Amino acid sequence: MTMKIHAITYSMWAALLLLLVCCGGMGSRSAAKAEPEVARVVDVPEFNADSAYAYVARQVAFGPRVPNSEAHRACGDYLVQQLKDFGALVDEQCDVVDAFDGTPLQMRNIIGSYQPENRKRLLLCAHWDCRPWADNDPDEKNYHTPVDGANDGASGVGVLLEVARQIQQQQPELGVDIIFFDVEDYGVPQFMDDVYDGNSWCLGSQYWARTPHVSDYNARFGILLDMVGGRDATFYKEGFSEEYAPAVLDKVWNKAHAAGYGKYFPKRSGDYVTDDHLPVNRIARIPCIDIIPMMRDSERSSFGDTWHTVNDNMEHIDRNTLKAVGQTVLEVIYNEE
Ligand code: AHN
Ligand code: ZN
């Protein structure tokens, strides 16, 4: 009995559906002339913050990834392998660069590319090296201790590894290049502030911007992630990003607000920061923004209390911040066409 009722109901629904489809088809055809095209509906993947957190912890477990150290070499191998496992075409730029004090540093920029043949591209980047000195530590005895770089280094890379994992599962419209820049954080230490500072930071990105991994490289825009794992981080609009890539900033901040992460992304101007996005903007001439925290009431540094201290460790990494930044990046890249 119930079977019969179901059968009747189903056929009735089918008939009704057929009617609706036909009418809808006619209706939309006549309406198409008058109304603007409907926005493309995109399926944006869910960023997994636990996964990103695990990639941060994995890097930190190698020890401080200071250039010329064993931890640096081993972590570099891990990053290359991870990008390959996530289906990227991996390129490396290995060379020796000179630090401000003449120390030769084994530099290794690591690039993972998706859809390398696609001419429409996006650039996502973060530095993966660690600072050799905790020169902003409250205790002077720690000045010569290298930092764990859980936030300063590993967080941006961890978020981008999770983005890579998502891209492998579902390709966006554009090709994507993920670049892990090396030797960002070997800038003149505060205890040597008599030394000329100028270009002592960002040596890996300077190298890449002068000699990209493919000739005539171009991308529609770039997003740099730096220190994106701190608790209650606030990402104000960084000064050089506003100067070189204001439209990119607006796009990213709007997506963050639409996705519910507005409290992390105040629509207000922040400081100017010398970071890896500068060579990308000035030398490679690709508009690139920097997502970097500015903490109004932090006492030790505007980048947060743990910046360049021995406390930049896993204890101070917050999955919620990784999620806010990672989901925002996914919203941006999957909405490009
Ligand atoms: C300066 O302090 C000049 N720039 C900050 C860039 C940086 C250091 N990002 C991470 N560590
Ligand atoms: Zn640093």
Determine whether the shortest distance from the Cβ of 331 to ligand 1 is under 6 A.
no
| One domain, residues 21 and 81 | no
Q: Which of 65, 127, 185 to mutate to test the pocket of ligand 1 (most atoms within 8 A of CB)?
A: 185
DSSP string, 270-328: -----STHHHHHHTS---EEEE----TT-SS-TT-TTTTSTT-SGGGB-HHHHHHHHHH
C-alpha of residue 185 to centroid of ligand 1, in Å: 7
Q: Does some domain include residue 207?
A: yes
Report pLDDT for 194: 78
CB-side neighbour CA atoms (13 Å) of 48: 11
Query: What atom in ligand 1 is closest to the CA of residue 131?
Result: 11
Cα–Cα distance measured from residue 119 to residue 206, given in angstroms and rounded to the nearest whole number:
23
Determine whether the shortest distance from the Cβ of 106 to ligand 1 is under 6 A.
no
| One domain, residues 29 and 177 | no
Q: Does some domain include residue 41?
A: no
Q: Which of 303, 308, 309, 312 to mutate to test the pocket of ligand 1 (most atoms within 8 A of CB)?
A: 303
| One domain, residues 14 and 151 | no
Q: What is the mean pLDDT of each run of 10 residues along the chain (337 residues)?
A: 41 43 39 59 95 99 98 99 98 98 98 98 99 98 98 99 98 98 97 83 98 97 98 98 98 98 98 97 98 89 96 98 99 98
Q: Does some domain include residue 43?
A: no
| One domain, residues 180 and 323 | yes
| One domain, residues 18 and 158 | no
| One domain, residues 23 and 106 | no
Q: Residue 242: what residue type?
A: E
Q: Does some domain include residue 39?
A: no
| One domain, residues 21 and 53 | no
Whether the Cβ atoms of residue 287 and residue 244 lie closer than 8 Å to each other: yes
User: Residue 245 sits in a domain of what CATH number?
Assistant: 3.40.630.10
| One domain, residues 28 and 169 | no
Report pLDDT for 34: 55
SS (H, E, C) 122-158: EEEEEECCCCCCCCCCCCHHHCCCCCCCHHHHHHHHH
Which ligand neighbours the alpha carbon of 202 most closely? Answer: 1
Query: What atom in ligand 1 is closest to the CA of residue 273?
Result: 4
**pTM for the complete prediction?**
0.89
Q: Does some domain include residue 42?
A: no
| One domain, residues 7 and 118 | no
Cα–Cα distance measured from residue 94 to residue 110, given in angstroms and rounded to the nearest whole number:
9
Total tally of structural domains belonging to the chain: 2
C-alpha of residue 150 to centroid of ligand 2, in Å: 11
- Domain range for 74 is 49-334
